[in-house]
Structure 1
Amino acid sequence: MGTYVEMIKSKSKTQHDLKIEQLHIGSIHVWMVGYESIVEWQETIANISNCGITTESNYEELYMRLFGQDWDPEALDVLLQGKVAFIDSNFEQAFSFQGKLKTLARAIDKAENESMPFSPAIVFMEPISTNIGILRKSINSHCLEVEGFQFNGVGTKEASLVYLSECVDKGLLNHVRHTLNNASEQDLRNGQDLIRIFGYNRFHLVSPFHKTEIPGQAVTSMMHGRVILLIDGEPTAHVLPLLFGDFIALDWDRQFPVLVMIVLRSLRLLSLLIALLTPGLYVALVSVNPETLRIELALSIATSRIGIPLPTFLEMLLLLIISEIIVEATQRLPKSIAAANTLIGGIILGQAIVEAKLVSSLVIIVLSASVTANFAFPNYLNTLVIRMLRSGIVVLSGIFGIFGIFAAFLGICYYACSLQRFGVPFMNFLSPKKLGQ
């Protein structure tokens, strides 16, 4: 086994945090092996010294006091779980035990991407065990069940399937469970990997899952029959499957009377239509089908376009591209700089481009209404699909006019109604009891 010590030493040349050190514990001489980036090295040694080892103790007693497990030095993956290994001085025996883990997680904080007034100031974290604990605290029910899965691709990734046994749709649960069991040898690093694991086309516009960082939203989804997938290292919960209601409905809406809740959700539905159709409708009416406008409105639009060198289609497309660049830049910048970027890009640039007679003021108004409506949806990630479809509708409306808008809208409705994830239609409006009823 002496060759194993040499193997570990050679391995540490490419894994700088893999540490091997010779220790003297009482009368015992051992080699201690572990990842010092995961394990508190000195505290682990102090815990070993305080476990009751005396000068009369031997290797077997050390094994029992540390609750050791036989270890093969070739199995270095065990050490990635925060364990430490001992190799005896004769290089004939080795065992592993749990070391003192380093604190790699941040403190629990408020939501950054899903802001809801008067909601609990707690969100999901990176460690999967912490997220499971947050869910148990949020619902405090014996019906909450957790199943563990492991993905052994390039690296090992743990995941947990969480659901309420009394509410979950059995067909959905069996489908997801079967899929995850069959994917144990695949790699799971990002959303595209997860889509591939579930067997769906990665080029689909609509994802099969919906992400949330708020435990209350995840609990509500489970109470409505869906399942939650937690992935170690991700501060979000994956709600399976994504439904159309996720674009307009929030659990927070139920804080209000039913009529107020209906008005709020209707307003979001109206915002979806405004964000999706307004730019294309303006282009179609002004550049392709101006005869559909009232004469007073047509004259007003014509007056505002005096001296504008670009056609309406190019005006709208240019400003759409600029607005998308501003939104993406704002999302990536620190908060202190993002506000200045919004001011410069949204106000100063917009005013300057109108005064330079490159676009008309009406285009700015229409685009501002569309962009503002785009952010009325509950989740920022849900806006990405709308933003892509909006650009496609503008192109079709610039070519075919009103007929292009109707064709695009009907195509989107057909696509949405044809989607089915895990046996559940995308347009299924959830029952408050069970998904399958």
Structure 2
Amino acid sequence: MGEVSKKVKKRFKNYDDFFQQETYLYKEIVEIMGFNTLINIPKTKDILQEYTKSVHTPDMTLDDFLKTIGEVKEGNIDDAIQSIFEGKLIICSNKGQYVVVDPIPKELNRSIEPPSNENVLQGSQSSFIEDLETNIGLIRKEKTSEKLCVNSYSMGKRQNKKLALLYIEGNVNKDILSEMQNQIEKNIKKELQNQQDLSNILGFSPWLTMSKFHTSELPSEAVKMLLQGRVVLFIDRLPIAFILPSLIWDMFTIENEHNYPYPLMILIRVLRVLGLLTTLIVPGLYVALVAVNPGVLRIEMALSIAQSRQGVPYPALVEVLIMLLILELILEASVRLPKSIGPTITMVGGIILGQAIVDAKLVSNLLIIILAATTIANFTIVGVQNSLSIRLYKYLIVIFASIYGVFGLLAGMLLIIAYLSSLKTFGVSYLNVNLERDVIKR
């Protein structure tokens, strides 16, 4: 056993999935090393023996053979250790020389499947998976262009996490791209596991209620964003694309809608805008008209609402907050429960709970209708993170409306608009809607 082999074995003495085997190459004993959880050892050895036969010449030595399969190294084992962690195979000779080889990997990735969080009615059913290289391949399959560029980074000190940055040369704003690349290179030693880590690396505040990333698991959606001059980021082992900069219009548009006739596409987007306004305004409007400005209503409507609230012991604000909290718990439970029983339990639980709470005179019938419509409208918005943010903002409007009535509702809307207009991603405003003119400055 060579010196390099001894050092590597000592380094991995606590790793039970590390293997170190002897085999013959050109009638000489060599050692192969790696993780048996990442490498298909029998297939790799077979391919190695077949390659040996294909390049064999009478005067070829083991040293010559090793040079045909990679760069021969010796002495420093840091590269060998790092390569083993990356799933590579190390071939080590008795002379202390070693070569890093790409082995036949074990199948650790799931196949490409339909998206689980973004339903597609008419369009490609492919979705991103956890393997970064596969995700890049899906993008190249959607956009076969020589201008599609990929920059790869290895992030972190304790474990190297792969990060890929994709853009189309000639479309992307060079200032945005340069600033993003500088941020990544400046923070390349920071750990990267999730979106919060990525936000930290790019210099975003961790307290933003509206994400600066537009996320998608659809290759067609990511390619559309690339063509608009945006940048797509992939983190290895995360099956989603992080798209920068994120804009408000991303809440209402999906690429596969272009497979519909133009009037239908416009109608669907108008419905999403109405869904957003319904989610934000209707709960606050109920509180404002019931608790502060009942005189705004027609007398028939005011009497109908008063009758529906007869016997309810709480003020309108408490009534709304109680029901909103119960709905949030039901929504969260529906996400966490097993898929086989989740929809049934939440539907039955919601119906029984809603009927019981009305019969107990804890809330009014009208509020149940309003909050059911609000919850449905909230999910017309594109993107899970966007719908979560809107769900948060409606509480602000409800509180303002309970204090100042209709004027408070308008003040809350203006406050939200002012906040969104203050958001900028590498100099691009969140409310920007004309990408070709304002974002892409060539």
Aligned-partner residue type, residue 70 of structure 2: F
* In structure 2, distance between residues paired with 1:102 and 1:69: 25
1:223, 1:57 → 2: CA distance? 51
Identity of aligned residues (%): 35
CA distance in 2, matches of 1:393, 1:434: 31
> Would the alpha carbon gap of residues 148 and 9 (structure 1) be closer, same or farther in structure 2, given more than 3 Å must change?
closer
Alignment of 1:254 onto 2:254: no
Deviates more, 1:171-180 or 1:357-366: 171-180
Q: Give the corresponding residue for 2:39.
A: 39
The residue identity in structure 1 corresponding to 2:213 is F
Asked if 1:84 is matched to 2:84, the reply is no
Question: 1:122: Cα distance to partner?
Answer: 0.6
Q: What is the identity, as a one-letter code, of the residue corresponding to 1:86? A: I
Is 1:307 aligned to 2:311, yes or no?
yes
Distance 1:37 1:101 in 2: 9
- Given the superposition, is the C-alpha separation of residues 16 and 261 from structure 1 closer, same or farther in structure 2, using an over 3 Å criterion? same
CA distance in 2, matches of 1:14, 1:292: 74
Map 1:417-432 to 2 at 5 A: 417-432=421-436
1:70 aligned to 2:73?
A: yes
Specify the code of the residue in structure 2 equivalent to 1:245.
Answer: W
**Alpha-carbon distance in 1 for matches of 2:292, 2:438:** 48
Question: Does residue 294 in structure 1 map to residue 301 in structure 2?
Answer: no
Aligned-partner SS, 1:205: coil
Aligned to 1:348: 352
* Match of residue 218 from structure 2: 214
Asked whether 1:236 is paired with 2:240, we answer: yes
Post-superposition CA distance 1:179-205 (Å, at most 9, x none): 222222221111111111111111011
**Range 345-354 or range 6-15, more displaced:** 6-15
Paired position in structure 2 for 1:20: 20
Secondary structure at the residue paired with 2:310?
coil
1:272 aligns with 2:279: no
Pick the aligned partner of 1:110 from 98, 114, 132.
Answer: 114
Aligned to 1:49: 49
Q: CA deviation at 1:57?
A: 6.9
| Cα deviation digits, residues 148-200 of structure 1 (max 9, x gap) | 22213321111222112232222222222222222222211111111111111
In the TM superposition, 1:319-398 aligns within 5 A as: 319-398=323-402
Stretch moving more, 365-374 or 33-42: 33-42
Q: Runs of at least 4 residues of structure 1 off by over 6 A?
A: 54-57
Task: List gaps (5 residues or longer) in structure 2.
Answer: none
**1:87-130 residue CA offsets vs partner (Å, 9 max, x unmatched):** 3346x333322221112111111011111211111111222221
Q: Closer, same or farther in 2 for the Cα pair 1:433/1:419, shift >3 Å?
A: closer
Number of the residue aligned with 1:199: 203
For the Cα contact (< 8 Å) 1:172–1:226, is it kept in 2?
no
Give the Cα separation in 2 of the matches to 1:169 and 1:8: 46
Q: Give 3-state SS (helix, strand or coil) of 1:416's partner.
A: helix
Q: What amino acid is aligned across from residue 20 of structure 2 in structure 1?
A: I
Please give the alpha-carbon distance, in whole angstroms, between the structure 1 residues aligned to 2:146 and 2:434.
Answer: 23
Instruction: Report the Cα distance in structure 1 between the residues aligned to 2:356 and 2:348, rounded to whole angstroms.
Output: 10
State the 1:2 CA deviation.
5.2
Q: Give the unaligned 5+ runs of structure 1.
A: none
Query: Which residue does the alignment assign to 2:136?
Result: 132
Quick check: 1:157–1:188 contact (8 Å CA) kept in 2? yes
**Range that drifts further, 253-262 or 363-372:** 253-262
Which region of structure 1 is more displaced relative to structure 2, 65-74 or 182-191?
A: 65-74
What is the rounded CA distance, in whole Å, between the counterparts of 1:133 and 1:93 in structure 2?
A: 35
Q: CA deviation at 1:82?
A: 2.3
SS of alignment partner, residue 16 of structure 2:
coil
Which of 308-317 and 361-370 deviates more?
Answer: 308-317
What SS does the corresponding residue of 1:218 show, helix, strand or coil?
A: helix
Per-residue deviation, residues 275-319 of structure 1 (Å, max 9, x unmatched): 011111111211222222222111111111112222221111111
**CA, structure 1 residues 13+137, in 2 after alignment: closer, same or farther (shift >3 Å)?**
same
Query: What SS class does the counterpart of residue 79 from structure 1 fall into?
Result: helix
How far is the alpha carbon of 1:433 from its aligned partner?
Answer: 6.8
Name the count of aligned residue pairs: 436
Taking structure 1 as reference, are residues 434 and 103 closer, same or farther at Cα in structure 2, changes over 3 Å only?
farther
The residue aligned with 1:60 is 63
TM-score, L = length of structure 2? 0.92
